[in-house]
Amino acid sequence: MADLMKGKKGLILGVANKRSIAWAIARSVSSQGAELAFTYQGERLAENVKELADTLPNSQVMPCDVTDEAQVDAVMRELDSKWGGVDFLVHCVAFANAEDLEGGYLKTKKEGFATALNVSAYSLTLVSQKVAPLMEKNGGGSILTLTYLGGQRVMVNYNVMGVAKAALEASVKYLANDLGPKNIRVNAISAGPVNTLAARGITGFADIIKMVREKSPLRRNIEPEEVGDAGLFLVSQLSRGITGEILFVDCGYNIIAF
């Protein structure tokens, strides 16, 4: 099967480099024939994203800061003009200040809290609002985001990002309910730790990787490609009866109580 996504068009937010989970998902859906648009935030990431996008057929790149509604609107206008509709959106955007990812959560300041929740959680709601009309044009669609076990359990040094992921997971369920009548599905993947640029910002990340490898039922860490293929499943028609769900792709670590 090499044309599962043939004729489908999707927007992917959050590719930073070739190790990004967003990029793994992009490769999986592209391998099945999807046409993709990527966004980047700031010129620092522009070159990386453009170079990666150039390796895939039928791809385009545009700037977008998800905290700026005007920029999100501009992306949607461009996609409406070029495509006329969108079939899926992959939201892989998260951020917290470095000082909030070490020590305890108790010391979190209002500014750091607002930043983490705005970028990591509210941005899903915003882009869902904006992309929904374009998905309706195509008879429906699929929205996918990324979360982490730290949104459900206390993870050392995850702190305010855990609170943001909890808000993100609740948003998935409420958005799924609101958008379901429009035949738009909303789901999340809770991936195990992957050695990405963002993950390396968490103090003690190497210890987390080691612990998951030792304790998970499969006794290993996940590969980005495994998340990519799960993402392909959730944005394709294979998952057409699934919405409002959090799919764990973590070698089973989430079921372990120790």
Q: How far is Cα 203 from Cα 98, in angstroms, rounded to an integer? A: 9
Query: Would you please indicate which residues are annotated as catalytic (active-site) residues?
Result: 148, 158
Q: How far is Cα 240 from Cα 65, in angstroms, rounded to an integer? A: 30
Of the candidates 1, 67, 54, 2, the one whose C-alpha atom is nearest the C-alpha of residue 23 is: 54
Of the candidates 249, 117, 122, 127, the one whose C-alpha atom is nearest the C-alpha of residue 184 is: 127
Burial class (CB within 10 angstroms; exposed 0-12, middle 13-18, buried 19+) of 6 = exposed
Up-side HSE of residue 43: CA atoms within 13 Å toward CB? 0
